[in-house]
């Protein structure tokens, strides 16, 4: 890969990392709100839906973590 392409890829990975950080903040905030609610609410349909959504965000973040590993050497 030439230097120009490597720089573009690295820049995109920087953006992915920034988005990943923002998504992790959202997941953490949602998790705190979830944990602050009653156990009955957590076990209800809305609670399960929220838990599923938090899990999906966390899975996405885990997948995005691999972007840094793919960063080309400049």
Count the domains in the chain: 1
CA–CA separation, 33 vs 9, rounded Å? 36
Any domain includes 52: yes
pLDDT of residue 74: 62
pLDDT of residue 67: 77
Any domain includes 73: no
pTM, two decimals, is 0.83
Any domain includes 13: yes
What domain range includes position 26? 3-68
Q: What count of Cα atoms within 13 Å lies in the side-chain half-sphere of residue 46?
A: 8
Span 3-12, average pLDDT: 90
pLDDT of residue 54: 98
pLDDT tens digits for range 9-51: 989 999 999 999 999 999 999 999 999 999 999 999 999 999 9
pLDDT of residue 63: 92
């Amino acid at each position: 890969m030439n230097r120009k392409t490597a720089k573009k890829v690295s820049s995109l990975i920087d953006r992915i990392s920034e988005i990943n950080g923002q998504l992790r903040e959202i997941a953490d905030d949602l998790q705190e709100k979830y944990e602050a609610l009653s156990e009955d609410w957590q076990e209800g349909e809305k609670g399960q839906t929220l838990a599923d959504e938090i899990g999906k965000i966390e899975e996405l973040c885990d997948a995005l973590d691999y972007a840094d590993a793919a960063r080309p050497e400049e």
